[in-house]
Amino acid sequence: MVALAKILDNLTIEGKLYAKQEDSAVRCTACGHRCLIREGRRGICQVRFNPDGRLRVPWGYVAGLQADPIEKKPFFHVLPGATALTFGMLGCDFHCGFCQNWLTSQALRNPQADDSINFIRKITPQQIVAFGRRMGAELVASSYNEPLITSEWAVAIFKEAVATGMKCVYVSNGNATPEALEYLRPYLSAYKVDLKSMQDKNYRRLGGVLKNVLDTIRRAREMGLWVEVVTLVVPGFNDSNEELWETARFLAAVSPDIPWHVTAFHPDYQMTDPDPTPAHTLLRSADIGREAGLRHVYAGNLPGRVEDYEATLCSKCNHPLVRRLAYTITDYQITAQGTCPKCGAPVAGVWTANPEAVNLHGHGIPRVAFL
């Protein structure tokens, strides 16, 4: 980890999301931990640190860069069929035992993640956006690790992207602060939040606090960001009817238009005991979401096995508006005005004004920039 830390420490600049404190300490405001970082120490994420009374933050590299289907994020109500140029760095403010991106997210925390040193590629924001344009991307997404802890770098990229007409999105654990959201707001169009549990004790096991995530969902909606929420349904962890009902009711109270994605778990990283989530559990979870009043509920990671829960249906007349198989759009009927073609009801989301150009029957797989 020493070699990795040395490389990452050199790829930094002074941050924006912090406040100076007494005795050369700093208070980081990038995530809900609000770490008080003494001189010579690091924050919980390990990648934001205080060498001399100033906060240094990640800058000038990616550990992952590829052109993904927007459905992979997943965003189902943001420009279906579009390509999202997706970048990520290293580090996270959580330590989830079921993390599927642990090799990048747990860098500087777990020695097993030291291989991530081989993923680091120096790059500029201009080069990232230029690559996205060559790949035909309509969006830029910050993902793979937790983007909140690298928000300064994300904003540098987003500024370039917005200037070219691209939309920008965050794929986040939702452990945000008002300061971070205000910093990001001028550039973001959409924010996806992982709502991992409705039990604070579960969040404490993962390194977080439930209230911070719930507050982020509410605040992002109030700020006008398009919000979608994902719950990875893990057998024995968060799959009880009671907890699923609590999750669905909370989201419906914030807005019944929030899409809720219930997705299937598979054993990974440090959580290998639970069995993979069966299709019937996802269907039960999705049914609860609809019964709780959510207008758009989706079941993910088990393509072709979840009935109509891959499709977007009109919340008024139930007409199929967008049909999907995994990350591929097979049919698109939302009008240029963002309405149902059958009954005229508005459909909440961020839709294209040129529906005939939606990419149907695409490959639905990422295109890698760096290996």
pTM: 0.97
Instruction: Give the C-alpha separation, 120 to 173, whole Å.
Output: 22
- In this structure, are 74 and 161 located in the same domain? yes
- In this structure, are 35 and 179 located in the same domain? no
Q: Are 144 and 101 in contact (CB under 8 A)?
A: yes
Q: Residue 207: give the domain boundaries.
A: 61-368
- In this structure, are 215 and 319 located in the same domain? yes
- In this structure, are 138 and 225 located in the same domain? yes
- In this structure, are 70 and 25 located in the same domain? no
- In this structure, are 54 and 65 located in the same domain? no
Give every CB contact of residue 8 below 8 A, 6+ residues apart in sequence.
Answer: 47, 58, 90, 107, 108, 120
- In this structure, are 17 and 96 located in the same domain? no
Q: Which of 36, 58, 80 is the last residue of a domain?
A: 58
- In this structure, are 23 and 136 located in the same domain? no
Instruction: Give the C-alpha separation, 124 to 194, whole Å.
Output: 28
- In this structure, are 30 and 133 located in the same domain? no
* Residue 310, pLDDT score: 98
- In this structure, are 228 and 244 located in the same domain? yes
Q: Which of 58, 75, 98 is the last residue of a domain?
A: 58
* Residue 371, pLDDT score: 37
Where would I find the H helices in 223-292? Answer: 241-254, 279-291
Determine whether 251 is exposed, middle or buried from the number of CB atoms within 10 Å of its CB (0-12, 13-18, 19+). Answer: buried
- Per-residue burial over 41-74, b if 16 or more Cβ lie within 10 Å, else e, is ebbbbbbbbbeeeebbbbbbbbbbbbbbbbbbbb
Whichever domain contains 319, its CATH number is 3.20.20.70
Type of residue found at 38: R
- In this structure, are 31 and 133 located in the same domain? no
- In this structure, are 10 and 158 located in the same domain? no
Instruction: Give the C-alpha separation, 307 to 304, whole Å.
Output: 7
Q: Which of 16, 42, 58 is the last residue of a domain?
A: 58
**Domains held by the chain: number:** 2
* Residue 367, pLDDT score: 84
Q: Split the chain (371 residues) into runs of 10 and give each run's mean pLDDT.
A: 92 98 98 98 98 98 97 98 98 96 94 94 97 96 97 98 98 98 98 98 97 98 98 97 98 98 95 95 98 98 97 98 97 98 98 97 79 37
